[in-house]
Structure 1
Amino acid sequence: MKYVNASNILPEHLIAEIQKYVQGETLYIPKPETAYQKWGSCSGGRKLIDERNASIKRAFKSGRSIDQLAEEHFLSIETIKKIVYSRKKH
């Protein structure tokens, strides 16, 4: 995380207002919740997991056993059960 000197980017009246609450400290200002992104949305990791899960569901519906899928994908049996029995569209 990069730190920025508030006096370089904020108007003086706003700095004066903030100084009523905190002075000489590092202050973290979070993003608004609307700016949050889900895990993996930038790297593509989320997409890969969604595709893997869809593949596991298709294989299960085609007759592969939970044990087989766990071994093939190096996942626990419980994780495979969560994937194949979830109601989310994959």
Structure 2
Amino acid sequence: MSYVKANSILPEELIKEIQKYIQGETIYIPKTKASYQKWGTCSGARKSISERNLSIKKAYQNGYSVHDLMEEYYLSADTIKKIIYSR
């Protein structure tokens, strides 16, 4: 998060209105709900994990054991089972 001076982006009338409520403080103005993105969307982490999970499911269906998958993907048995049994 970066800080921006209000007088460089907001109209003077709006700044005066805000000053009625707060002066000289830092405030956070949140995004609208419509502009939120899910975790990992921008970085590609979400896609990468989804592809990994699909690969784990396919390997299990092709006969790999939970133990084999644990060692190949460096995940716990519980995590492998959650991935395998999830929809």
Residue of structure 1 equivalent to 2:51: 51
Q: Give me the TM-score of the superposition, normalised by structure 1.
A: 0.87
Structure 2, unmatched stretches of 5+, are none
* Runs of 4+ off more than 3 Å: none
For residues 31 and 75 of structure 1, what CA distance do their matches in structure 2 show?
35
Percent of paired sites with the same residue: 64
For residues 34 and 57 of structure 1, what CA distance do their matches in structure 2 show?
33
1:21-55 Cα offsets, whole Å, 9 max, x none, are 21100111111121111222122121111110000
Residue of structure 2 equivalent to 1:36: 36
Structure 1, unmatched stretches of 5+, are none
Residue of structure 2 equivalent to 1:76: 76
Higher-RCO chain (CA-CA 8 Å, sequence separation at least 6): 1
Paired positions, count: 87
RMSD in angstroms over aligned alpha carbons? 1.2
